[in-house]
Amino acid sequence: MITSTALQPTIEANGLAFDDIVRNTGLGAMPADARFCPDRYVGRIGHFGDQKDWNFIASSSQERDPALPVILLVMESPHKDEFSSKLWYTPWPANGPTGRQIRRHAHLLVPSDWVKDSAQLKLLNAVPYQCSLGSTPSKYRDSVFRAAWAAGGAAFFQERLLLSYRPGDLVVNACTKGRSGRPLREDVESAIAAVLPGARRLRLAHPFSWMTAEKTTVSWAVPEPTPQRTPGPVLASPQGGEPR
């Protein structure tokens, strides 16, 4: 049994429908699957064991224990495995290799002052639609993500994040960097900081790359803003001529 997603808002409430967003990019391609991929609570991290997929949690009626903290793991957008017809419970965030690495290594994200066996996990995509359009991510993902982000996706993400967050939770930004331009993960980080400035946060690599404990826990830094030179006073010429 999959937990109801009736209370989750949709991007149409904040801007254009996703199909329209993609069409307006002028890329000449459309999503292989245009369905909304909802955020999913996936239970206690200590219960993941050697599960090969998310069937064990999708088949249950587990919901968040409000008395215990949750790790909110944020990725940028679903790709192909998240909509796989081979799994009855899709759409679902972090399927395939990404989900496998999360189940293997999520325990490394649990803060030392938490009770490890009680830590819970929820999966979110910043833009919960197929920004890759089902193609190689380097082809369309970044352009579509940025278009969706500007067309209501940022506000939509913040709304969903606030619905999921409770004081004491840990927000982990594990979005990909992207191929060019301002890193996608920095846009997401700015959105998180704007609505949860006091929240406990981590910035990690995308879970697809969590092959080892070291790769799982290496953090990335937000670049310092480039200092802006403040114009100095206008100086008069020593000879009394024009200012210089």
Q: What is the pLDDT of residue 10?
A: 65
d(CA 140, CA 231) in angstroms, rounded, equals 41
**In this structure, how many other beta carbons lie within 10 angstroms of the beta carbon of residue 91?**
21
Structural domain count, the chain = 1
Nearest to 109 by CA among 72, 80, 78, 143: 72
Q: What is the pLDDT of residue 158?
A: 96
Q: What is the pLDDT of residue 204?
A: 97
Does residue 148 form part of some domain? yes
Does residue 149 form part of some domain? yes
d(CA 206, CA 60) in angstroms, rounded, equals 27
Three-state SS for 106?
helix
Does residue 232 form part of some domain? no
Q: What is the pTM of this model?
A: 0.87
Q: Tens digit of pLDDT per residue, the chain (244 long)? A: 333 344 466 665 554 589 999 999 999 999 999 999 999 999 999 999 889 999 999 998 788 999 999 999 999 999 999 999 999 999 999 999 999 999 999 999 999 999 988 999 999 999 999 999 999 999 999 999 999 999 999 999 999 999 999 999 999 999 999 998 899 999 999 999 999 999 999 999 999 999 999 999 999 998 765 554 544 444 333 444 443 3
Residues 6+ apart with CB under 8 A from 240: none
Residue 184's domain spans which residues? 11-217
Does residue 188 form part of some domain? yes
